[in-house]
Amino acid sequence: MATSDELMSRRVIDPGVPAPGTEQNYVQDVREAVAPGSQAASTWNQNLDGAAEYLTSTGLVWRALHLSLLNGVETVSIIYEPGGYFTGGITDEYEVTKQLRPQYFPPEVFPNLELVEAKVSKGTIVLASEYEKTRCIGKSIGVAGVIWSAGTAGGFLASNSNSDEVFGLSCHHVLLPTKYIEIAQKEKEEKKDPWEFSPPEFLEVTGIQHESYNNDHEDVVIMQPACGDHRDTLQEAQKEKTNGEGRLSDLFEKHKLLGSTPPKASIDRQRRQVEDMEECLDRYSKSKREFGKLAYTSGYRIDKATQHTLDWGLFRLTDGSLADNTMPRLPHRPGWEALGGLGIALITGIADPVEKEAVFKRGRSSGPTYGEISGVRDQVRFSEHGGCESKEWCVVKRRIHEGGRFW
């Protein structure tokens, strides 16, 4: 089942560059799911809570514990935020991993262990398809006036009592984003121009992790694409237009110095590029981007039965907004012929995760990605929740061999 992309201000639970001195010289290569019935999976499930408790006691600001097969070898990844501190007499990362080994992650079961700095997801330049009248799964969405956060439209639900009432699905952290202090400081330093909208006042308060929403605040308007993505896209289009005008001017200047006439084909090509950008700027600027208004969100909660985090939000589509549960045609990929062979892929229902099940996801900035559900769950520690922990399903690469190559 597709999940939302992380906010621009959130730490992405995804391996980046490992810390110096870790046990493995990390090469970004094939990561695959661990079999649920394997010895590694059994040991992992048995020791995961204890390992998490130990890491927390050291002062390491860890965000996820992840188990996968890296090039076929069982690998424990400790994903953390840099700049954390250590307590209890432990002075460095090597000592942390050294003490983890005998009690929780024995090398005979987990040959590789690595500490990996968490990445931060950045903004994105959206494509022309983001401005189509009919919205589908995977589109960029965000709150009107909020340029520090964006996320993904995860699908659409019709009301049982009123078939004309349609809701869009995303995450609580996307629809009620926290404005972190460092974001406010960066905005102040950059002195950005005022944006087209002002965000709701309660979202401007820094450091607040917002509770569940049930029409108990002022209207929260949802835009598509998100304001930050829209702004970046307009800026990029304006940059391309300016560059095109510069190239056209340079062309005339060059031939003026040479005493010759510029080739008509070159002039036409440069002018078309400028005109294309002018048309894009005009269409994007006039696009009706209001998508809906916030209806309900979960807040940040942990389900006691499953230990999963709850982080969902629903927004009621604005009258006249068009949306459907489809995804554009996908390029060929082995094992995914059912999706790639259709003009569109229609989503007709929902289902719980199943170990080793194939998964396709379309995200706002990641685009289409493919994988399978790991046989074990990750331990995740959130900056929201006050540092609470949960166990989450993880999607890893699905390795398929075709035509002499691995996909």
* pLDDT values of the chain reduced to their tens digit, one per residue, 407 residues: 333 333 223 223 333 444 445 444 434 567 788 888 899 999 999 999 999 999 888 888 888 999 998 888 999 999 888 765 565 555 566 777 788 888 999 999 999 998 888 765 555 566 677 777 778 888 899 999 888 888 999 888 887 777 778 899 999 989 988 887 666 666 665 555 555 667 788 887 777 778 888 876 668 999 999 988 898 888 888 999 999 999 999 999 999 999 999 899 989 998 999 999 999 899 988 888 999 999 999 988 888 888 888 889 999 998 777 777 777 666 666 666 655 555 556 677 777 888 878 777 777 777 777 788 888 889 988 776 666 788 888 888 766 555 544 44
* pTM across the whole model: 0.76
Helices (H), 14-137: 39-58, 93-103
Give every CB contact of residue 20 below 8 A, 6+ residues apart in sequence.
Answer: none
* C-alpha to C-alpha distance for 363 and 355, rounded to whole angstroms: 22
* C-alpha to C-alpha distance for 52 and 164, rounded to whole angstroms: 47
From residue 266, give the alpha-carbon distance in Å to each of 99, 255, 258, 270.
Answer: 67, 12, 16, 6
DSSP 200-253: PHHHHSBT------BS-SS--EEESS-HHHHHHHHHHHHHHHHHHHHHHHHHHH
Residues for the chain: how many in total?
A: 407
